[in-house]
Structures are given as structure tokens and as C-alpha cells.
Structure 1
Amino acid sequence: MRKHRFFIILTCILSFSLLFSTINVDQANASTTKVIKQGMNSGYVYDLQHRLQQTGTYKEAITGYFGPVTKNAVVKFQKRYGLTPDGIVGPNTWRALYKHTFTANEIEMLAKLVHGEARGETFEGKVAVAAVVLNRVDSKKFPNTVKSVIFEPYAFTAVADGQYYTKPNKVAYQAVYNAIQGWDPSYGALFYFNPKTATSKWIWSRPQIKQIDNHIFTL
């Protein structure tokens, strides 16, 4: 059942990535002023369903129609984040969604990074790499968007050596979704390195949290 749900999610990501790739920052901010509720059918509902899927509250296909299933998912999300559980998506619910979820483009970037950086690691190691990116987005020490974190100069080896541009597999997407839904095997790490190849004295000086496979995760 879990595999079936994941493949539904993955299919939706691939099917609607072109649509969501057109959503820029101004459009995202504009959507937070849009109120949508049951019975509506629009691009905002596509975005809503896509983001609810990431939280695990919506597990059906993305249709763009705000029906009872979507409303129930909204209520679950609102309860989880301490919002009024009315099933209506207004400014407060939009802001919470944008804080805790990502566009299809951002998920694609995360999956490509996971695939490039942790292709030979266990699933836990892949999730940990995705979690490090999300931890950086949340940290005041780093840029506050997925794209700017991933493409910060010299931040990730896979970007520098071109492995980032290889096509991610399904496991990479699944690892990203697990990280988005709150699993952080790195326990809040902001960095990681391979102890067999790392020569930087600085990275060795960072407070170490744990080792997963070939990576040591640090603060």
C-alpha cells in the first residue's frame, strides 16, 4: 500500500512539474491572499493538493478539484499545525503550507542532489542528505530557499563535479518526501563529509553528530 501511494505521488510530480515550474515567488506570495474551499476548481487547487501530498495528508491523485477528500486533508493539515480546522484554505493555511512544503521544481532539485550525493548510500543515508538541505533552509546561517542552498558555491560536491545533473531514480524522490515529512536521520546536521576522502581541517573540526554509511554528519 505504501509503495502504491508513493508511485501515485511520483506520477503526479512528473505529470505536473511543468505546471508548477511556472510558479515564481511573486505568484506564491499572491496565492497566500487567495481563499479556496470545497467546490472550487483551479490552479490553486493543483498547488494545494501537491503540497498536501508532501505532508502525507492527501494521498489521492492531483485533480485540481477541491472535493471532500481535499477538504478532509486540509482539516488534517490545519489540526497538525494548530490552525482553525475549518477546511478552508485562507492566508494562514497558505502560509503554513508554503513554510512546510515545496514546489515540484524544488523537489526535483532535492532529488537530483540526493541522487548525485548519496547514490551509493542506504535509504537512511539518502534521507539524511535531503534533511541537511532542509536544515540549511531553516537555518539563519544559510540562504532560505532550496535552490540557493544547493547552488551556494562549493556547498555540494555533486554540483561541482556534475553528478547533480544525472537523472534521479524513484528512491531519491522517496527519500526527499520522507525528509519533507519530518524524518531527519542526521539529527539537525548542517554539514556532512566522507571521512575517507575529506582533507579539509575545517570540516573535521565541526561538532560531529553521527555517521551514516560513508558520511559523517556535523553541525
Structure 2
Amino acid sequence: MQDRIIKILKVGIILALNVCIIALAVYSSSHSVNEPASVQALSKVGSRGDEVTKIQTNLKKWGYYAGNIDGIFGSQTEQAVRAFQKKNGLTVDGIAGPKTLEAMGISTGSTSGGSAAASSKDVALLARIISAESRGEPYTGQVAVGACVLNRVKHPSFPNTLAGVVYQPGAFTAITDGQIDQPVADSAKRAAQDALNGWDPSGGAIYYYNPDKTSNKWIRTRPVIKRIGNHLFCS
């Protein structure tokens, strides 16, 4: 009788241990899946896939990347990401994490605070190009420059992200002459917000220029919508 009780106790202990082992395995498995999910919301050297292809496509379009668009995150892609990060005031680590992807206009699939972060970044970038391109212009003219940039984002002939439009090769002299890196005027920050909120003093323009400074013959052929300050705004 005593031996039978001992055997029953042993069986019970073994069963209990097995239950504990199974529970631990399930717990570890769930954490090993969930934890890296946040870590993998980025692309870096060695990464492959559609997200890398989008990164390469955008960086090549903006003049940062000269390699093949092959969906493989190699050293060339890393250097291009670093150059983009430096130009946009991001942490320069060569890793396309959530903030870098947002700046590139690439969705990370995150829903917590994403739109607010993107909105803040849009205001900052738009303010930089407004300040660089229309320093000294009347406030309405600054808003018009911002609206013109945003009109390009919506236009099929231009990149469909703000960063894409701003950094499109040859699009703005402020990028090539370094004015984009100068301190941003407070008025440009307000103008960026007004333009993002829908104010468009340009009348829907997608081009603008200073007739006293440009030697570009093509831009002078564009239909003029209006003049604000020193800028002519065109369709």
C-alpha cells in the first residue's frame, strides 16, 4: 500500500514538472516572438525585402544612392542612409529605424503616435525649405512657397512625399548652396504650419522663381499665376 502511494506521488510530481516545463516553453516562445517584433521594425546591413527596396528606390530618386535596387541592404545602402540621416538631422547610424523611415515617407505599420510624429517632422522639414528659399520675403510669400512645395507632393510629376520633393535633385537651389542648413526663421515655422493646414496663397502653383535672379529660360515659359514679393508663382 505504501509503495503504491509513493508511485502515485512520483507520477504526480513528474506530471507537475511537465506542466511547468510546457508553461515555461510557451512563455519563452511568446516573448521571443513579441520582443524582436519591435527590434525588427528597422532595416540594416543584411536585411532583405520590400522595405529595403523602397528605401533604395527613394534614396536613388533623391540622389543619395547609386547602386542597384535589389532589396538587399548592403554597404552602399548603409552609406546612402547615413547621408540621408545627416541631411535630415536624424541620428546617423546607417540603420533605417522608425524615425528614418518616417522621414523617407515609408510606413512602418506603427499606429501609436505615428501621425503626430510625422506631422511634427513635416513641419520641421517644410520650415527649413521655406526659410532657405524665401528668407526676407513677406509672410504671405513664405506660406506660398510652403504651399507650392506641398502642391508638388500631390502632383503626379513629382515625388509623393515631402522629403522626396524637398530633396529631389536640382529642385531647389537651397539644397545645393547649403542654405537648407542655416538657422530656421520663426516666421518660416509659422508659415509651414499654415501651409500644412491648407492655406495656399500661391493659387495652386507648383513652381516659383525670382525673375531678377534666375537665368533659367525654361522656368520663364511657365504660366504665371501671381506675384508675391520677389517671387513669381507658376503652374
Check whether TM > 0.5: yes
Return 161-170 or 206-215, whichever deviates more: 161-170
Alignment of 1:143 with 2:156, yes or no, is: no
Q: Which residue of 1 aligns with 2:214?
A: 198
* Contact 2:151/2:204 (<8 A) preserved: yes
Q: AA paired with 1:213?
A: G
Provide the rounded CA distance (Å) in 2 between the counterparts of 1:189 and 1:29. 31
Question: Any idea what SS the aligned residue of 1:210 has?
Answer: strand
Q: 1:22 aligns with which of 96, 99, 104?
A: 99
Change (3 A) 1:21 1:104: farther
Give the alignment's TM-score, normalised by structure 2. Answer: 0.54
Question: Any idea what SS the aligned residue of 1:192 has?
Answer: strand
Kindly state the Cα deviation for residue 29 of structure 1 after the two structures are TM-superposed.
4.8
Query: Runs of at least 4 residues of structure 1 off by over 4 A?
Result: none
Deviations 1:150-208 (A, max 9, x none): 11111111111111111212211110110011100001100000011122110010011
Q: What are the residue-to-residue correspondences of 1:40-59 with 2, within 5 Å?
A: 44=112, 46-48=113-115, 50=116
Question: Any idea what SS the aligned residue of 1:28 has?
Answer: coil
Kindly state the Cα deviation for residue 47 of structure 1 after the two structures are TM-superposed.
3.9
Q: 2:141 aligns with which of 122, 125, 135?
A: 125
* Contact 1:124/1:212 (<8 A) preserved: yes
Deviations 1:80-128 (A, max 9, x none): xxxxxxxxxxxxxxxxxxxxxx443332211111111111001100000
Q: Which residue of 2 aligns with 1:217?
A: 233
> Percent of counterpart pairs with the same letter?
40
Q: AA paired with 2:107?
A: A
Alignment of 1:180 with 2:196, yes or no, is: yes
Change (3 A) 1:27 1:109: closer
Structure with larger Rg: 2
Q: AA paired with 1:22?
A: K
Q: Which residue of 2 aligns with 1:116?
A: 132
Counting matched residue pairs gives: 140
Question: Any idea what SS the aligned residue of 1:30 has?
Answer: coil
- 5+ residue gaps in structure 2? 1-88, 91-96
Give the alignment's TM-score, normalised by structure 1. Answer: 0.58
Kindly state the Cα deviation for residue 28 of structure 1 after the two structures are TM-superposed.
3.4
Q: Relative CO higher for 1 or 2, CA cutoff 8 Å, sep ≥ 6?
A: 1
Kindly state the Cα deviation for residue 129 of structure 1 after the two structures are TM-superposed.
0.6
Alignment of 1:160 with 2:183, yes or no, is: no
Provide the rounded CA distance (Å) in 1 between the counterparts of 2:231 and 2:98. 32
